[in-house]
Amino acid sequence: MEIENLLEASEVASIIGIKKETLRSWRAKRVGPPFIKIQKTIRYNKDDLSEYLNEKAKGTTCTTK
């Protein structure tokens, strides 16, 4: 894993379109994208986030008229 592949929680929240507090709540509930804890620092791997978002997209349906 390369350090360039790691995102901060604020970046992930922005990408997903949620507040950082929501992301923190998800971590506490063990839901949301996988994260890495390095001492007191939380980071998200870009590849893991991409996989998480792709899985969530598969679970959605879109109907158009």
**What's the total number of domains in the chain?**
1
b/e sequence 2-25, b meaning 16+ C-beta within 10 Å: eeeebbebeebbeebeeeeeebee
The residue segments making up the domain with residue 15 are: 3-57
The CATH number linked to 23 is 1.10.10
Burial of 49 (0-12, 13-18, 19+ CB in 10 A): buried
The 8-class DSSP code of residue 38 comes to E
Is residue 14 a part of any domain in this protein? yes
The two structure tokens encoding residue 35: 């994260």
Is residue 39 a part of any domain in this protein? yes
Query: pLDDT value at position 63?
Result: 57
Question: Global pTM?
Answer: 0.82
Is residue 65 a part of any domain in this protein? no
Q: Does residue 64 carry a pLDDT above 60?
A: no
Range 46-60 average pLDDT: 89
The two structure tokens encoding residue 61: 């349906």
pLDDT-derived band at 60, boundaries 50, 70, 90 = low
Residues in the chain: 65
pLDDT tens, position by position, 7-48? 999 999 999 999 999 999 999 999 999 999 999 999 999 999
